Structure 1
Amino acid sequence: MSRRIAVAYDCLYPFTTGGGERQYRAFAREIAARGHDVEYLTTLQWEGEAPSDEAFTVHAIAPRLRLYDAAGVRRSSAALVFAWRLFLALRRRRRAYDAVIVSALPVLNVFAARAALWGSRTKLIADYLEVWRRRQWVEYAGRATGSIAWGLQRLAIALTPIATCHSQLSARRLRDEGLRGTLLISPGLIEAQESAEAEPAAPAQPPYALYAGRHIADKQVETLPAAVAIARRQITDLHLVILGAGSTTPEVERAITAADGRDWCDLRGFVDQSDLEQLMAHATVLVNPSRREGYGLVVVEAAAHGTPVVLVDGEGNASTELIDDGVNGFIAASTRDTDLGDAIVRAVDGGEALRESTRDWYDKAVRTRTIARTIDAILECIDARMGARAPHHRRQRADNT
């Protein structure tokens, strides 16, 4: 039986880039591939007609919005506009969908969808990319706004009938913050078909450590030059390539100067996907010093090329769940230059043996930690709630707690 399912998120890859954008587009594609009718509800991000080259239908339910402020913090006004437009769109068609999958980032989306669908038989699934403690909200948005955001998150979680998340960290926090509904913990977010195209490659000479992502406070990119300077005491020809940009880019530039790294640091900004793939394939190690991640897709993307990853331990960093220490990378105890530098040295010294074990890790992960299996669990839950047998091919379901 074919279902009609909506996926709601205020961004759409490739018009905006990031882990969430890629994840929800992949959700829509995977559900459509099972023969279901999928609509993607988002903001206007393109010129001219809506994209029509996907297996799903794209609807701009809100105008073009500036989602982030200069510091990389999501703008409350933009979140309110999208939530209101989502409410109106779902209210008009509250019985047109069998299910709605809504991103809980921003959390106002959950309230909008819950209110619009109240009293209908449409099933609501809220996907939690991350779940933050109060302290994290306050650090991110200030005491007043952060406390309000935390309170709204708790209320949204309490109102969520079916929640999905992508790490044990998020699962624990959802329960701690008051979730009483069904919780689906996905096995992973790998797009197996696209990732299978990646091939292992030899690291470049001279070797380089790579960072790829936004430059915001939580990513702690400015810690990298000092850490690589420490690593260069043992690996004298090691370079650092930093991709991306953002509000902390000036701090990164100052850190490069402080580490006397102008000759061995390459600050390139954003690059296109083909260049990113090449840089990731030939990096000796990919380093992500972020203190918070909801999943950590970059670990998988690097592993597809056999490139090991160095992460930093932290209470909000779920990506460390993807690292088998010494198998596909290392976890530094902190962003102190000595801790992070030592982990980078270990990854470089791992050489070909570490690259082989990293690729082996990926070959296993691509069979078990896929978006396809995550969608299996979501569709099975929808079918069970609607009292019908699942029409899609069943693989191994995600953990259901």
Structure 2
Amino acid sequence: MTSRSTEIDVLFVNWRDASHPEGGGSERYVHRIAEGLAAGGLRVRLFCAAHDRAPAEERVNGVAVVHRGGRLTVYARALLHVAWHRPAIVVDVQNGLPFGSTLVARGPVVNVVHHVHREQWPIVFGRAGGAVGWWLESVLAPRLYRRSRYVTVSGATATELTALGVAADRITVVPNGVEPAPAVRVVPDEQPRLVVLGRLVPHKRVEHAIEVVARLQDRWPGLRLAVIGEGWWQDELRSCVERLGVGDLVEFHGFLDEQAKHEELARAWVHLCPSVKEGWGLVVTEAGAHRVPTVGYRSAGGLRESVVDGRTGVLVDDLDEMVEAVEQLLTDGAARRLMGEAAARHAAGYSWAASVRGFARALARAAEGSAPVAVLQHLDLLAAPRLDGAVGVHGGLEAEDRGDGETGPATQGQHDGDEGLHGATLFRGGRRRSATVEPDVVIHNTAPTPTPSATA
């Protein structure tokens, strides 16, 4: 790691990795994309903050992972790493604070934004600190990346980025994939059970899930809430539980490995996602894979796409509506099961392989004419349409890749992925917001439907 020649084809800089105690869905997205690029023959490295769960350097599924610096010093260390190693392409993952890789990178920089943090800054840092953070994100960052391409996971975030001055033709939407859910040994509990999964931090608003239990406990004596995750806000949440008198109804499971996590999801009747903001909401599709519908806030942004409102879950506007929606789902078991089945079909329509192809296309476009020929060749191979028609790329119109170089109307896609979903549910009248911006490229991440020509 001492040579100043280009030894890295794609360098991801991110403040955390998936093994970090505060890692979540956005970190998993970065890992899966990086691993997919590495599997395609590219030399991929991830630079992120150090923590006590990982060595200083390791290789994870073909990706070299380097841990240096802390929560804030990782930014300066990352810039030094970029300047010294001169990667062919830098993927700058902006979790609110920009790394500013454009200041030192010799090649193209692609900026990944999962969601805009406007609402989160004051929650975490107060009014003054939040104002500074929002200025960094909304004013400084768009200037730093004014010549860069952007990748985001939802049309909702793309719309917010254009409001900050990012041109729509520089934004590519590549949603999360979904890994096949592992086999589980459990079935939904006999007694009503809710689950909330995520980092225990203020903007996830787990307090709202606890409040739901407190308000429904008298009408549903057997009701329980499983809280999965860890974070620095946990003591406040435990205080909330005691204050509301639901200590025997709320279970704090902390961090769970993948198998245990999926076991808990499979036991639930309803998944709650009360976050202030979600770029996509990976846990929505993870829960859906176990036929568990989601109730979340419409204002969270990305949930308007990961949840098909009224079909795979319910989007609400405030806590009162969340309580009402949960009670309706608990009461009407038939509607809940239909919604869960629709959620499973919807989740099955997303794959990481399709996401990697879409991301490779975004990188290839950003690096055209500047990256080494070998890197562009690898990206072109990774981005090539598959005969299975698993992913379509288009310039603002709904289309799907038929594998023959042509495109046609999409039958199932990211924004209108309710094809075949059962309409006879309790929440047929749920509202859905149409996109207000058409980014330059949208990846319709849909899993392939086996055909005689696509299966061996």
Gaps of 5+ in 2: 1-7, 370-375, 386-390, 397-438, 441-456
- Alignment partner for residue 10 of structure 1, among 5, 12, 15? 15
User: In the aligned structure 1, how far is the partner of 2:231 from the partner of 2:346?
Assistant: 35
Which letter maps to 1:290? S
Aligned pairs for 1:82-93 (under 5 A) are 82-93=74-85
Report the equivalent of 1:100. Answer: 90
* Residues 226 and 47 of structure 1, relative CA distance in 2, 3 Å threshold: closer
**Does residue 322 of structure 2 align to residue 340 of structure 1?**
yes
Secondary structure of 2:124's aligned partner: helix
How many residue pairs are counted as aligned between the two chains?
371
Report the equivalent of 1:168. Answer: 155
Secondary structure of 1:397's aligned partner: strand
User: In the aligned structure 2, how far is the partner of 1:12 from the partner of 1:26?
Assistant: 11
- Alignment partner for residue 149 of structure 1, among 112, 133, 137? 133
* Residues 186 and 370 of structure 1, relative CA distance in 2, 3 Å threshold: farther
- Tell me if structure 2 keeps the 8 A contact 1:313–1:332: yes
Report the equivalent of 1:331. Answer: 315
Shift of 1:49: 6.3
User: In the aligned structure 2, how far is the partner of 1:137 from the partner of 1:226?
Assistant: 23
* Residues 263 and 58 of structure 1, relative CA distance in 2, 3 Å threshold: closer
Shift of 1:352: 5.2
- Alignment partner for residue 103 of structure 2, among 104, 115, 119? 115
- Alignment partner for residue 52 of structure 1, among 55, 59, 75? 59
CA RMSD of aligned residues (A): 2.7
User: In the aligned structure 1, how far is the partner of 2:346 from the partner of 2:201?
Assistant: 32
Which letter maps to 1:9? N
- Tell me if structure 1 keeps the 8 A contact 2:201–2:231: yes
Q: Could you tell which deviates more after superposition, 15-24 or 382-391?
A: 382-391
Deviations 1:61-99 (A, max 9, x none): x23x2x3xxxxxxxxxx1xx22211111111122xx331
Secondary structure of 1:342's aligned partner: helix
Report the equivalent of 1:190. Answer: 177
Report the equivalent of 2:392. Answer: 396
- Tell me if structure 2 keeps the 8 A contact 1:186–1:374: no
Aligned pairs for 1:225-244 (under 5 A) are 225-244=210-229
Which letter maps to 1:275? A
Shift of 1:276: 1.5
**Does residue 26 of structure 2 align to residue 41 of structure 1?**
no
Report the equivalent of 1:272. Answer: 257
- Alignment partner for residue 257 of structure 1, among 230, 238, 242? 242
Shift of 1:40: 1.4
Deviations 1:202-244 (A, max 9, x none): 3112221112222322122223333223334443322222233
- Tell me if structure 1 keeps the 8 A contact 2:35–2:63: yes
Deviations 1:287-346 (A, max 9, x none): 1211221221110110011111111232x442233222332221232123xx22211112
Shift of 1:187: 4.4
Identity %: 22
- Alignment partner for residue 36 of structure 2, among 27, 30, 37? 30
User: In the aligned structure 1, how far is the partner of 2:195 from the partner of 2:221?
Assistant: 16
* Residues 235 and 145 of structure 1, relative CA distance in 2, 3 Å threshold: closer
Shift of 1:251: 3.8
Which letter maps to 2:26? G
Normalised by the size of structure 2, how large is the TM-score?
Answer: 0.73
Shift of 1:116: 0.9
User: In the aligned structure 2, how far is the partner of 1:290 from the partner of 1:256?
Assistant: 18
**Does residue 361 of structure 2 align to residue 373 of structure 1?**
no
- Alignment partner for residue 202 of structure 1, among 175, 187, 190? 187
Shift of 1:44: 2.8
Secondary structure of 1:263's aligned partner: coil
User: In the aligned structure 2, how far is the partner of 1:298 from the partner of 1:183?
Assistant: 28
User: In the aligned structure 2, how far is the partner of 1:56 from the partner of 1:276?
Assistant: 25
Secondary structure of 2:348's aligned partner: helix
Gaps of 5+ in 1: 68-77
- Tell me if structure 1 keeps the 8 A contact 2:297–2:317: yes
* Residues 116 and 139 of structure 1, relative CA distance in 2, 3 Å threshold: same
User: In the aligned structure 1, how far is the partner of 2:131 from the partner of 2:28?
Assistant: 29
Secondary structure of 1:267's aligned partner: strand
